[in-house]
A and B are shown apart, each in its own frame.
Chain A
Amino acid sequence: MTTLEVEIWRGAEEGRYETYEVPSQPSQTVLDLVTYVQRKLDPSLAYRFACRVGVCGSCAMTVNGTPRWTCRTHVQKVATQGRVRIAPLRNLTVVKDLATDMAPFFDKVQEARGRFIPSDAAAKSVAEVPPEEPKRKEADAGIECIGCGVCHAACDVVRWLPEYLGPAALNRAWTLVNDARDGDRIGHLRAIAEDAGCHACHAHQSCAEHCPVGINPTRSISGLKRLVLMAAIRGRL
């Protein structure tokens, strides 16, 4: 049986890579490698996962230098000469080994007022939002975010400017300002027009490049920049 050489980050912010020999299997995922190491070789290895089918967004890690959802990443696709290097996500504090503290990532969604604010009309009756409506299409394009943090880890602006809201939080805000049922459009725009808001984005598009579910947060952020600019010029912010 052939084996893979798997290097895994051990420690917290300070640490080192440790190498494990893992048997190679057909259709093996990167999460399978980590699970094998934890179950068979070293039970002290810390990592995070839940659904294993690309829905929950828990298992994102850095694989050979690239942020990825490990449950849907085949080893065959990423291994170079039988070697895989697995590290925790960038731009987040490491708790232990492959587990990062995701609290700052989710806090930014709240800072960006990334929560639905029901309008009076929506509370009284079921809103009709036709699928072909342009705003509905914009919201649909960004709504499937699984909150995995891959875009946050891929973003250089998050690294350079830690207070920046980041692509996931801003993408969430974009889905809300395009939601006909939401009752506080200006409130959402005010939140993301703050100093570390949407205007800090340089449109490098790393978020779009790495998003595992194919969302383009850069596009959402560009839309927010336009809306904020118009609102600011009209004195509505």
Chain B
Amino acid sequence: MKRPELWLYVAQRGSALVLAPLVLLHLGVILYAVAGGLSAAEILGRTRTSWIWPATYGLFVVAAAIHAAIGLRVVLREWTSWRDSSLDIATVGFGLTLLLLGFRAVQAIA
């Protein structure tokens, strides 16, 4: 692909746009669950009644994996001398790990 850094920039800013409202929603959900004193079973009882919860958190996981992997690559490129293709492979691996761990969590509430 021509100009990979430009497209990585687009992907990172795009994923940030998706993440921003989802982070606020997630904080709201935490406050609601804690303030109401919901047990784990009660929370799962609510999330398992609708496909919207797994879908929302699935989107959160995808956006976070893209955003964090690209951001980590930028930090490592700038702060260390690690510049070759092994950095790309490592950060793609990091993103895939986040995706895997995230979807395990989503599966648990689905």
Contacts and interface: CB of A to CB of B under 8 A. Distances in A.
A212 B78 CA distance: 27
Nearest to A199: B9
A157 interface: yes
A160 B5 contact: no
Interface string A54-70: 00000000000000000
B6 interface: yes
A196 B78 CA distance: 12
Interface residues of B, number: 11
Contact of B6 (A157, A160, A161, A232): A232
A197 B9 CA distance: 11
Interface in A84-131: none
Secondary structure dominating the interface of B = helix
B40 to A, nearest CB: 40
A147 B9 CA distance: 28
B10 interface: yes
Given A229-B10, A232-B10, A195 B3 contact: yes
A199 B9 CA distance: 7
Nearest to A229: B10
Interface in A187-237: 193-197, 199-200, 225, 228-229, 232, 237
Interface residues of A, number: 15
Contacts of B2: 237
Contacts of A229: 10
Contact of A160 (B3, B9, B10, B79): B79
A193 B3 contact: yes
A194 B3 CA distance: 6
Given A160-B78, A225-B9, A232-B7, 6 more contacts: A195-B3, A196-B5, A197-B5, A232-B3, A232-B6, A237-B3
Interface of B: 2-7, 9-10, 77-79
10 A-B pairs with least C-beta separation: A160-B78, A199-B9, A195-B5, A193-B6, A199-B6, A161-B78, A193-B3, A199-B5, A232-B6, A195-B3
